[in-house]
Structure 1
Amino acid sequence: MRFHHICIVTTDLDRQVEFWQDVMGFNLMVRTTIPDGENWAPTVMAPRALLEDLYKTPGAKADVAVMVSEQGAMMELLAPIVPEVQKTPSDKLLYKDSGIREIALVIDGIEEFYKKVRAAGYKTQTEYVWPCANLGKTFIFYDPDGNMIQIWEHSLAASDALRAS
């Protein structure tokens, strides 16, 4: 099995698209409204009925953007219109509650990227990049909706082990 993508439900699609383009370096591949937008792929069932089944809401509708990095990482950004999305309280985005808490991405040049994130005004969990065992270096920061993004740079030993597996 391979990882396909992650979906971030957002209160502000424009702001998230800008973040993923300008800070994270992703490219916008698709931006549409579902189920009525022109890029919505036909399905076996009516698109409206499918979305209502997924959202458990009559008249369900959302704006969506699909972003892809040069290395192939894919991100789905979803801004529900019906029902209206509610921002998750920041205390529910921490490690004390169950669920997915962070997105982790691997890059080269972590120190420069850390400076870029800080210069752009994004909050980091620490004032520094830290080493993590013999795996490499890392830091965590928050996207515009308060979701945690962990950035990794593998150590040479970890990179060699991953290539060998």
Structure 2
Amino acid sequence: MPDVSAHHFGVTVTDLDRAVEFYREVLGLDVLDRFTVSGEAFSEGVGVEGATGDFAHLDAGSARVELVEYEPEDEGTDPDTEPVNRPGAKHLGLSVENLDRFYEELPTDVETLSEPRTTESGTRILFLRDPEDNLVELIES
């Protein structure tokens, strides 16, 4: 079996510019590339007829965060804002060197689930929501 390694972690958003601004300004991720993909092969690959995706790849160290805004947008669903313990729930995990300093420097309009906490295993964590209500976990490294 071939070796598998992380390339990117994808997050679908409704407003790519707003999401890029958040991930760049609040989380400090650099934009590596922005591009658009469409056509029959893409539509078939993602299983959405007539799909076009506007993408932004951001540098998250050993992997990328891929933000994508699709057209046509799925108008029948709302963003998943369910708790992280719900089966199928998802979150993006990123590490920071000093979680307390990161928390103190967050803009006041960024929603967090709590202040930084230390778990039973000794791991320091902080969950916040991006502008699309996606959960982002910050782990102190």
- TM-score norm. by structure 1 comes to 0.74
- Conserved in 2, the CA contact under 8 Å of 1:15 and 1:144? yes
Equivalent residues in 2 for 1:83-162 (5 A)?
83-86=72-75, 88-91=78-81, 93-95=82-84, 97-117=86-106, 119-126=107-114, 128-154=115-141
RMSD: 1.9
Q: Does the 8 Å CA contact 2:95/2:140 hold for their aligned counterparts?
A: yes
Q: Compute the displacement of 1:56 (Å).
A: 2.7
**Residue 24 of structure 1: CA displacement?**
1.0
Runs (4+) of structure 1 exceeding 3 A deviation are none
Cα offset for 1:120? 4.2
Using the TM superposition, name which of 7-16 and 103-112 deviates more: 103-112
> Who is 2:67 aligned against?
77
Q: Identify the residue that residue 33 of structure 1 maps to in structure 2.
A: 36
What is the CA distance between 1:94 and its match in structure 2? Answer: 1.8
From the two aligned structures, give the one with the greater helix fraction. Answer: 1
Query: 1:58 & 1:105 partners in 2: Cα distance?
Result: 33
Secondary structure at the counterpart of residue 77 of structure 1: strand
The structure-2 alpha-carbon separation of the partners of 1:72 and 1:96, relative to structure 1 and needing over 3 Å to count, comes to: closer
Q: Which runs of 5+ in 2 are unaligned?
A: none
Amino acid at match of 2:134: N
SS at the partner of 2:111?
A: coil
Q: Is the 8 A contact 2:31 2:57 kept in 1?
A: yes
Paired residues, number: 137
Larger Rg: 1
Partner Cα distance (2:125, 2:116) in 1: 6
Which residue number in structure 2 is paired with residue 5 of structure 1?
8
CA distance in 1, matches of 2:7, 2:73: 27
Identical-residue share of aligned pairs (%): 24
SS of alignment partner, residue 105 of structure 2: helix
1: CA distance, partners of 2:35 / 2:79: 27
